[in-house]
Amino acid sequence: MFEQEGHSIGNGMIRKGICGICNCFCGIELLVKDNRIIQVKGDRDHPLTKGFICPKGRAMPEIVHSKDRIRRPMKKNAQGNFEEVSWEEAFSIIIGKLEEIKSRFGPEKVAVHTGQAGVFMQFTSYAERFCQVYGTPNFSTAGSHCNTSKELANIVTVGSLPVPDYANSKCIVLWGYNPQYSAPAQMLYINEGRRKGAKLIVIDPKATKLAKRADIHLQIRPGTDGALALGFIHLIIKEKLYDPEFVNNWTIGFHELSKLVEDYTPEKVSEITEIPSDDIIEACYMFVENKPSNFSPGIALELQSNGFQTARAISILQTITGNIDLIGGARLNKPIPLSEVVLDRENFLDRKPIGSDKYPLFHKINGRAQANLFSDAILYGDPYPLKALIVIGSNPLLTWPNANKLRKALESIDFLVVMDTFMTETSKLADLIIPGVNYIERYEIWNGSIRYGEELMGLSPKIIDFPNGVTEWEFISKIARGLGYEKEFPWLKEEEAFDYRFQSLGVSFDYLLKMEHAYDYGPYKEKRYEEEGFNTPSKKAELYSSILEDLGIEPLPKYIEPAESPRNTKELARVYPLVLSTGARNLEYYHARFRNIESLRNFKKEFEPFVEISSETAKEEDIKDGERVIVESLRGRIELVAKVTSDLNPGTIYVPHGWDEANANVLTDNIDLDPVTGFPPDRSLLARIIKVNK
């Protein structure tokens, strides 16, 4: 039986909690003694994750108690060295600077960014609220390069982002998505579906472990997924494989869509994608004949110069095959009905965020700034300069595109504050470093719909204290109150802010804290659209999007060749002949995190960081496995170790991101961004490999 206070074992205490490293939110049991975590294991009673944890979760004691943790605020002194300062001094510096910038230059000259460590975290909404009351529209999140693109694509098509229901599916299509590494707890459900007979299709330029186990692996040329999706739609329409009842009753724009895909024959699509046409046809029949089926578009499709329209095309596929909002298909979940923290954006529109002119849909729906443009704002005043940047839970220098340019920008900005649990390449450039607090050192809300499509949620308890620490929420709230926004930040304690948040759910902080496992705010009900319609202007699934049309954006999911590619930029390809994909996930690291965590660093005995290269290309370039090489793009160059593999097609190379010593984002681009969302094309660029001793 679960007890909130935990039960004693030896002279330690077993506590139940949640791992918040990735958004799988695995239930965990922790052995805690003297404010230290001794051991972590999976909680078998957790309704969704059932005892599963991955190596990152298991490494939690090492991560949380690492000797490298930042423990005190630090400011950069005149000599450029960091010295510890008191919390009072840290707050007084920040508040003083923000007052000065607001009165001298205007509040929009301050930007606040919450990164991956803030995704689905409470403090992100409060950071946005802070920006609103201070008066800056320049609040940005990891959504500048993550998830928002496919979210927006699905919002305009079916009203919200659906979640694949793997366990009840008959055909699972993992499309530029590799959950074995990126969302390992989901494998419980994928494996369950497979055991019950579901087919598996993997669409990936790399023969990943999952691709090797799939019924069909389509080894696609990077960045051409939009053409493949149109090819599937072409076949589905031509062979009348769609769900006619659903299409007639619940969609608009079928005629226009049919015209768009007219030429996308399997032969043409094969030519574009470099997938044999018979395989395209076979995969298409597999998912239309094995229903319900679902598509999981991964980040690889978003990090492209035409990723938004690709995600649109896949959303349409999910829809016209009649697999939307049902068990075994893709579910449209209700969000947790929390009381709103972000204020009404309509009241804060007098100053425009950076990127709003270029990306009106991004601006209209999430109202935030596009952080990929911040370096241009800082360096060239485009569209206006930024004087200060506050970063919480992100390491931009290693994760945002065009790192050489960003470094110059962050070196030149007047005031940079970074709140992080560890020293990073970005915090080294900061004027002020604030110690971050880990997930299990504070309360958080976890959400079961994101990964599992179950309308379950819970309060993740604070397991240990971070001595002398200030949580991210307290940090934001103290700055806000210090600047005089007591009315908008009335809560004196974090628990009170949670109580406010839970008001519209009708429960209290204490109630949720005592709850065994999960609170069911649903349950999920199929086909809610039959009662309410889809959450789109026409209440139908919009194959031809009225929202996009109104904003002057292409309303049909047109395919465009990657901005940089051997076919599109032939001149450039003469110098940079290889197609470069950066940042495919591995199990043990999380973006730029955990290179300093011994068990994770030693998880695989491989030379890292490396560039993966096919044996044919290696031979052509006279490169041996294990040899040091330089990878160069139009933006910059890094040195890595060559890893020769048979898992990639000739001409494609893979570079992991997140390494201080070989930063893949030196190679990436922040100019040719996705025209709808401003996402960077990290997954298909041009590069060359040079031998180090040449």
Ligand X SMILES: Nc1nc2c(c(=O)[nH]1)N[C@H]1C(S)=C(S)[C@@H](COP(=O)(O)OP(=O)(O)OC[C@H]3O[C@@H](n4cnc5c(=O)[nH]c(N)nc54)[C@H](O)[C@@H]3O)O[C@H]1N2
Footprint of ligand X (CB under 6 A): 22, 115-117, 142, 145-146, 175-179, 181-183, 203-206, 208, 220, 222-223, 225, 298-300, 303, 392-396, 399, 419-422, 424, 436-439, 472, 581-585, 587, 589-593, 657, 664-665, 668, 682-684
Exposed e or buried b per residue across 384-421, where buried means at least 16 C-beta atoms within 10 angstroms of its C-beta: eebbbbbbbbbbbbbbbbbbbbbbebbeebbbbbbbbb
Cβ 682 vs Cβ 668: under 8 Å: yes
The pairing of beta strand 432-435 with beta strand 7-9:
unpaired
Closest-CA residue to 553 (of 680, 677, 671):
677
The distance of closest approach from Cβ of residue 232 to Mo ion in the complex, given in angstroms and rounded to an integer, is 26
- When CB distances are held under 5 to 8 angstroms depending on the partner's kind, the choice from ligand X, ligand SF4, Mo ion, none that residue 296 binds is none
Decide: is 324 part of the binding site for ligand SF4 (CB under 6 A).
no
- Each residue 185-224 as x (binds ligand SF4 by CB under 6 A) or -, in order, gives x---------------------------------------
Residue nearest to ligand X (CB): 583
Decide: is 21 part of the binding site for ligand SF4 (CB under 6 A).
yes
User: What is the CA 382 to chain-centroid distance, rounded?
Assistant: 26
Question: The tokens of 57 are what?
Answer: 């979760």
Decide: is 396 part of the binding site for ligand SF4 (CB under 6 A).
no
Decide: is 146 part of the binding site for Mo ion (CB under 5 A).
yes
Residue nearest to ligand SF4 (CB): 57
Given the complex with ligand X, which of 157 and 665 has the nearer CB atom?
A: 665
Longest CA span, the chain: 71
Dihedral angle, C-alpha 602, 607, 609, 615, nearest 10 °? -140
Decide: is 24 part of the binding site for ligand SF4 (CB under 6 A).
yes
CA angle 604, 608, 613 (to 5 degrees): 105
Cβ 12 vs Cβ 440: under 8 Å: no
d(CA 629, CA 335): 47
User: What is the CA 448 to chain-centroid distance, rounded?
Assistant: 17
Given the complex with ligand X, which of 247 and 450 has the nearer CB atom?
A: 450
The distance of closest approach from Cβ of residue 56 to ligand SF4 in the complex, given in angstroms and rounded to an integer, is 4
Residues 44-103 close enough to bind ligand SF4 by CB under 6 A: 53-54, 56-57
Which one of 26, 210, 354, 618 is in contact with ligand SF4 (CB under 6 A)?
A: 26
- When CB distances are held under 5 to 8 angstroms depending on the partner's kind, the choice from ligand X, Mo ion, ligand SF4, none that residue 206 binds is ligand X
Residue 510 contacts by C-beta under 8 Å, 6 or more apart in sequence?
Answer: none
φ/ψ of 273, rounded to 5, equals -90, -15
What Cα–Cα distance (Å) separates residue 18 from each residue in 58, 167, 439, 606?
Answer: 12, 22, 9, 31
- When CB distances are held under 5 to 8 angstroms depending on the partner's kind, the choice from ligand SF4, Mo ion, ligand X, none that residue 204 binds is ligand X
Amino acid letter for position 56: K
**Count of positions on this chain that bind ligand SF4 (CB under 6 A):** 12
Q: Where are the alpha helices (DSSP H) in 551-595?
A: 570-575
Which one of 6, 15, 17, 19 is in contact with ligand SF4 (CB under 6 A)?
A: 19
The distance of closest approach from Cβ of residue 692 to ligand SF4 in the complex, given in angstroms and rounded to an integer, is 35
Given the complex with ligand X, which of 288 and 392 has the nearer CB atom?
A: 392
DSSP assigned state of 590: B
The distance of closest approach from Cβ of residue 90 to ligand SF4 in the complex, given in angstroms and rounded to an integer, is 30
DSSP assigned state of 339: P
Decide: is 24 part of the binding site for Mo ion (CB under 5 A).
no
Given the complex with ligand SF4, which of 182 and 309 has the nearer CB atom?
A: 182
Question: The tokens of 94 are what?
Answer: 């920040």
Decide: is 184 part of the binding site for ligand SF4 (CB under 6 A).
yes
CA angle 380, 383, 389 (to 5 degrees): 75
Query: Binding segment for ligand SF4 among 22-30, 194-202, 312-320, 379-387 (CB under 6 A)?
Result: 22-30
Question: The tokens of 472 are what?
Answer: 């991210």
The distance of closest approach from Cβ of residue 24 to ligand SF4 in the complex, given in angstroms and rounded to an integer, is 4
Decide: is 371 part of the binding site for Mo ion (CB under 5 A).
no
- When CB distances are held under 5 to 8 angstroms depending on the partner's kind, the choice from Mo ion, ligand SF4, ligand X, none that residue 679 binds is none
Cross-strand pairs, 251: 541
Cross-strand pairs, 648: 206
The distance of closest approach from Cβ of residue 20 to ligand X in the complex, given in angstroms and rounded to an integer, is 8
- When CB distances are held under 5 to 8 angstroms depending on the partner's kind, the choice from ligand SF4, Mo ion, ligand X, none that residue 591 binds is ligand X
φ/ψ of 646, rounded to 5, equals -100, 5
Query: Binding segment for Mo ion among 131-139, 143-151, 208-216, 667-675 (CB under 5 A)?
Result: 143-151
Amino acid letter for position 416: L
Binding residues (CB under 5 A) for Mo ion: these are: 146
The site for ligand SF4 (CB under 6 A) is made up of 19, 21-22, 24-26, 53-54, 56-57, 184-185
